[in-house]
Amino acid sequence: MTAKSAAAAARATVYGYPRQGAHRELKKAIEGYWKGRVTADALKAVATELRRANWQSLASAGIHEVPTGDFSYYDHVLDTSVMVGAIPERHRAAVDADVLDGYFAMARGTQDVAPLEMTKWFDTNYHYLVPELGPDTEFIANSAKQVGELKEALALGLTARPVLVGPVTYLLLSKPAPGVAADFDPLTLLDRLLPVYASVLADLRAAGAEWVQLDEPALVQDRTPAELNAAARSYRDLGALTDRPKLLVASYFDRLGDALPVLAKAPVEGLALDFTESAAANLDALAAVGGLPGKRLVAGVVNGRNIWINDLQKSLTTLGTLLGLADRVDVAASCSLLHVPLDASAERDIEPQILRWLAFAKQKTAEIVTLAKGLAQGTDTITAELAANRADLASRAASPITRDPAVRARTEAVTDTDGRRSQPYTERAAAQRTHLGLPLLPTTTIGSFPQTGELRTARADLRAGRIDTAGYEERIKAEIQEVISFQEKTGIDVLVHGEPERNDMVQYFAEQLTGYLATQHGWVQSYGTRYVRPPILAGDISRPEPMTVRWTSYANSLTEKPVKGMLTGPVTMLAWSFVRDDQPLGDTARQVALALRDEVNDLEVAGTSVIQVDEPALRETLPLRAADRAGYLAWATEAFRLTTAGVRPDTQIHTHMCYAEFGDIVQAIDDLDADVISLEAARSHMQVARELAAHGYPREAGPGVYDIHSPRVPSTTEAAALLRKGLEAIPAERLWVNPDCGLKTRGWPETRESLENLVAAAHRVRGELPAS
């Protein structure tokens, strides 16, 4: 096909769409089902309606081929485990008894059975459930979900393309099941898995699929020759099938590198590639392999992970270059639109001019359609759209919101000394032991306590004017009193105030910093039914006044025990926001760090002796390619030290991280120079404690003994067993006892019992320690 005919054939598509509904209907229905207020049939009806609404909205907007199979009750990787029959043995009885309840048991666990481990989906803030595999794993095809959703879309008269997690990515994201040797490589199961994919593909073809998309984002990471060979073999074998739809192999989040020629040579009908800034190298690499003659190329030119409008002219230039490299060029976002909110037009509190800089899923869909139209029919058919886009881009570039001379002057004046504590850790640790007087194996929590319905109602009443500020603050005071009283009675050593005043660990601070914008409806799925509203970092950052000192000081006034000041760190403030894309991330991180430094110093002046600066996003923001990591870790660790280095030696700095693979950033954790770090460890059975020990980590650490993302209550015996595992790696004088993460999403009854068991476990294991 000529470049001209390739352009004429251009179509618009997306890889996935937000699942929750305009009013988070899916979240409400699922949580209602868990509480027994919604029946299974009612839940399924809500899900069916949400899928229908999404597909019809996409089609009405001009999307020519809608995705199916991207919808999920909890997680698309868990859906894939169900599709290939990889059900952990401990959950098999529950799945056999009731498919839906068994599905949720794998995700959340039960009182008697632990859930699957959860970790970050590449470098996003979405979490997936890690498949557990072993040498005895037997796969069996179960295409009911995938076929059923395809048939729903086809029945609406739509052109639909099922989307599956590809077999190589599925295995590379898996881990050895409990009891399986740690060095077991799930990729050795490829020959067992491919026939299952072949069966699913045949079922989808029989159901009417012309194309099926197989997502292989794991191939954008550094891969060994054996892993690249597995990819080549997978698509050689799947491509050789006679009873299958056409195959579109998709990658996103970064450049494909050595995997691109492997996929370009594979006997599949199409590739979907990311051509946004982070993956721009894909264009030259595609040209270097001779393009995709005779194949379909889906070009991801609209960024599916940020909320800024696309530069339409720049994207059209990229698309024009691609026309000569494939038989057909279609237009898409760079990845699933799962990672952005649904509709910017729903925001009523953002200034209209600024709103024109923003593109959520609905607006990105319109951009994709516009680009496909311009590519297929010529730019003269989208003259008005191009003119409006140029004006909006210029408006943002010239806005005074984006530049504050005072902030920039302060940032430029930072020196290396500003990022160093006044004494080394060994001297600080001695001063802190004297100052705080804590026992061995001190107990604490990560920060938040349950956000009850009453708290959420009080916050909503304040916004609606049903109560005044004084009434709201009395409610917050009462909650802090309850949280402090409970912790004292339970015997926790380092307390927290529970964060009842905070709506979200990032949004709360963003609303008090200049340069940030808050949304009312910008919900994005983090995991399961947990949705967050990432703020929008649009301009230079400063802190007009203290943000946390008042409530932390009030909590301190209620107890003689130390109360931690709780802040969200600069990297996480960036990672869990939609960040400006008009300057280097390191520059923005330094601005945020200086604003937080002011808060840390004010907390210390107010009498706070323990200050926690959470950085759960440090690992998730790690670049996918090793070659890009040193630069990132340099500015990320500098930003943390800049935040925390201004305090006295006897002020103890904590940090916290959760739900990521920490092994490859242990040196960066060390470089933070925090006095204490708490980390998720319960689901991974203290793996991170072993990793810290192997590195020779010299500071204090609290690997979690209570998995807070499950409703189950760990027994004292269970927590004590995990604590003993921790002691195998970390000596008692440096080991803390804490949950995996904050308790915001848990209820009070399970929180009380779990923390009581945690403290009892600490006392039990303390009693087992040799006398000093």
Please report, rounded to a whole number, the percentage of residues in the chain having pLDDT higher than 70.
Answer: 99
Tell me if 323 sits within 8 A of 6, measured CB to CB. yes
Which of 733, 718, 719, 621 shows the shortest CA–CA distance to 668?
621
Task: Give CA–CA dist 220/243, Å, rounded.
Answer: 29
Residues listed for the chain: 772
Task: Give CA–CA dist 688/729, Å, rounded.
Answer: 9
Concatenate the DSSP letters of all residues of 150-180 into one string: HHHHHHTT--EEEEEE-HHHHHHT-EEPTTS
What are the pLDDT digits (tens) for 144-189? 999 999 999 999 999 999 999 999 999 999 999 999 999 999 999 9
Helices 469-490 & 748-768, crossing angle to 10 degrees? 30
Indicate the average pLDDT of the chain: 95
Which pLDDT score, from 0 to 100, does residue 363 have? 98
Which pLDDT score, from 0 to 100, does residue 7 have? 59
186 secondary structure, DSSP code:
G
In the predicted model, is pLDDT for residue 202 greater than 80? yes
Task: Give CA–CA dist 276/541, Å, rounded.
Answer: 26
Concatenate the DSSP letters of all residues of 341-367 into one string: -S-GGG--SS-HHHHTTB--HHHHHHH
Which pLDDT score, from 0 to 100, does residue 295 have? 97
In the predicted model, is pLDDT for residue 1 greater than 80? no
What are the pLDDT digits (tens) for 704-761? 999 988 888 999 999 999 999 999 999 999 999 999 999 998 999 999 999 999 999 9
What are the pLDDT digits (tens) for 365-397? 999 999 999 999 999 999 999 999 999 999 999
- How much is the average pLDDT of 297-306? 97
Predicted confidence band at 608 (pLDDT cuts at 50, 70, 90)? very high
Which pLDDT score, from 0 to 100, does residue 663 have? 79
What are the pLDDT digits (tens) for 232-269? 999 999 999 999 999 999 999 999 999 999 999 999 99
Which pLDDT score, from 0 to 100, does residue 460 have? 86
Which pLDDT score, from 0 to 100, does residue 738 have? 96
Task: Give CA–CA dist 292/238, Å, rounded.
Answer: 18
Predicted confidence band at 131 (pLDDT cuts at 50, 70, 90)? very high
Least confident range of 47-61, 327-341, 581-595, 673-687: 673-687
| Entry pTM | 0.90
Which of 677, 734, 683, 729 shows the shortest CA–CA distance to 705?
683
Which pLDDT score, from 0 to 100, does residue 279 have? 76
What are the pLDDT digits (tens) for 715-725? 999 999 999 99
- How much is the average pLDDT of 323-348? 96
Task: Give CA–CA dist 616/48, Å, rounded.
Answer: 35
- How much is the average pLDDT of 326-337? 97
Which pLDDT score, from 0 to 100, does residue 660 have? 65
Token output for 13: 């598509």
In the predicted model, is pLDDT for residue 772 greater than 80? no
Task: Give CA–CA dist 150/67, Å, rounded.
Answer: 9
497, 654, 709, 763: which one is catalytic?
A: 709
Which of 33, 71, 75 shows the shortest CA–CA distance to 54?
71
709 is catalytic: yes
Token output for 325: 């490299």
Which of 437, 440, 384, 382 shows the shortest CA–CA distance to 767?
440
Which pLDDT score, from 0 to 100, does residue 659 have? 62
